[in-house]
Amino acid sequence: MNPEHSPVNPTSQAGLRGPGIFLAQFMSAEAPFDTLANIAEWAASQGYKAIQLPTLGTQYIDLARAAESQEYCDELKAVCAKAGVEISELSTHLQGQLVAVHPAFDALFDDFAPTHLRGQPQARTEWAIEQLKLAARASQRLGLKAHATFSGALLWPYVYPWPQRPSGLVEQGFAELAKRWLPILDCFEEAGVDLCYEIHPGEDLHDGASFERFLEAVDHHPRAAILYDPSHLLLQQMDYLGFIDRYHARIRMFHVKDAEFRPDARSGVYGGYQGWVERPGRFRSLGDGQIDFKSIFSKLTQYDFSGWAVLEWECCLKDSAQGAAEGAAFIAQHMITKTQKAFDDFASVQSDEGFNRRLLGLPEA
């Protein structure tokens, strides 16, 4: 499998767009974060052009209603347009997590499910799968081209190979993961929407190698795509720029999030069970970490990435209001309008095959 040669989404809009903002970390019962209309106006006032909507619950969007009603979807878009923003994508990160949950995490992830399903892992999984299918249809009605989610994890307790993993365990885990996701991917294919897995520790799809395993297991499904967030790659000490070179054909969403990794004598990548402030690897507000965003935006432009540059604010030090206020300008400053001509076109000369042959000292054809 060569991920560089994976099919490019033919329906995506041309060019990198932004700035957008993911709203999950800002949801609140208090204004201006309490309703879609209020938070859309707030986002516009901060300089954002788009909002990425979480879909767990009905605070900003009723997913089931959006999947069935074009009128409702048109109303949602009108609310956003009135505020001066548009919807970039929907997110089912938490529902996607529940598509595959190892029993060790049942109690911890039960809070993501409706109350009546807690303590019922099979029913919870079936609900999560239906949520993703609703999201495909809702995205289609909203005219969206990409969707954000998590893969869930059956193998995460075995991520470190001690005790030794029995032969076939990893293959069986990815076969089961693919079995659960293939019907969902087919729904997204019918809807004309890319399903973008955030590559994230805690998920079975947490790096390039695990994404490749999944891609093989789903027979290189054309809608199996990547939500690129460099912060999660930096904290694993991966080459997050080389990641774009290798997987650019499958990268169809982009979270703009910063991070830093400063190993010391006490702990490293695993963090020593410390809180976020004490860990060597920490998420930071844009510009406060180590991510080389100039190179990221350059590479995405080079590979004709078509999608939104969306701030995901997560920082262990800076307040969310300050992070959001600074984020729009930061993204805007990194946006690149791709040139339509070579910089040295002014010095170009007219040519034909005969002229080129003479320059090479070859006889006339």
pLDDT in tens, 171-194: 999 999 999 999 999 999 999 999
Closest C-alpha among 313, 306, 337 to residue 327:
313
Number of domains into which the chain is organized: 1
354 within domain boundaries: no
The domain that contains 123 carries what CATH number?
3.20.20.150
Token look-up 């033919």 returns: 10
Would you say residue 345 lies in a domain? no
Strand, helix or coil at 284? Answer: strand
- Indicate whether 356 belongs to any domain: no
pLDDT in tens, 272-291: 999 999 999 999 999 999 99
The radius of gyration of the chain from alpha carbons, rounded to an integer in Å, stands at 22
Residue 349: its pLDDT value, please? 79
Residue 30 covered by a domain: yes
- The answer to whether residue 85 sits within a structural domain is yes
Query: What does the angle CA 361 – CA 364 – CA 365 come to, to the nearest 5 degrees?
Result: 125
Residue matched to tokens 């909507």 = 53
pLDDT at 9: 40
Residue 313 is assigned to a structural domain of this protein: yes
- In this structure, the chain runs to a length of 365
**Percent residues over pLDDT 70 in the chain:** 96
> Residue 212: which residues within 8 A CB-CB, separation 6 or more?
1, 3
According to the model, what pLDDT value does residue 351 have?
82
Angle CA 324–313–224, to nearest 5: 130
Sign of CA pseudo-dihedral 113, 115, 118, 124: negative
CB 79 within 8 A of CB 39: no
For the entire predicted model, the pTM comes to 0.93
Q: Which domain holds residue 19?
A: 3-339
Residue 187 CA to residue 88 CA, distance in Å, equals: 20
Establish if 211 belongs to a structural domain. yes
**Is the pLDDT confidence value at 141 over 80?**
yes
pLDDT of residue 270: 96
Pairing of strands 251-256, 258-261: unpaired
The 10s digit of each residue's pLDDT in 298-357 is: 999 999 999 999 999 999 999 999 999 999 999 999 999 988 887 777 767 788 898 999
- Which of 263, 157, 234, 160 has its CA nearest to residue 271? 263
**What pLDDT is recorded for position 210?**
98
- Domain annotation covers residue 271: yes
Mean pLDDT over residues 51-65, rounded? Answer: 98
Taking a C-beta distance cutoff of 8 angstroms, is the pair 231, 257 a contact?
A: yes
Tokens of 85: 């923003």
Phi-psi region of 287 (alpha: psi -120 to 50; beta: other; left: phi over 0): left
* pLDDT at 62 (0 to 100): 98
DSSP 127-191: HHHHHHHHHHHHHHHTT--EEEE---BSSGGGSS--SPPPTTHHHHHHHHHHHHHHHHHHHHHHH
Give 332-365 as a 3 state SS string.
HHHCCCCCCCCCCHHHCCCCCHHHHHHHCCCCCC
359/295: higher pLDDT? 295
The predicted-structure confidence for 11-53, as pLDDT tens digits, reads as follows 334 699 999 999 999 999 999 999 999 999 999 999 999 999 9
The average pLDDT across 225-252 equals 98
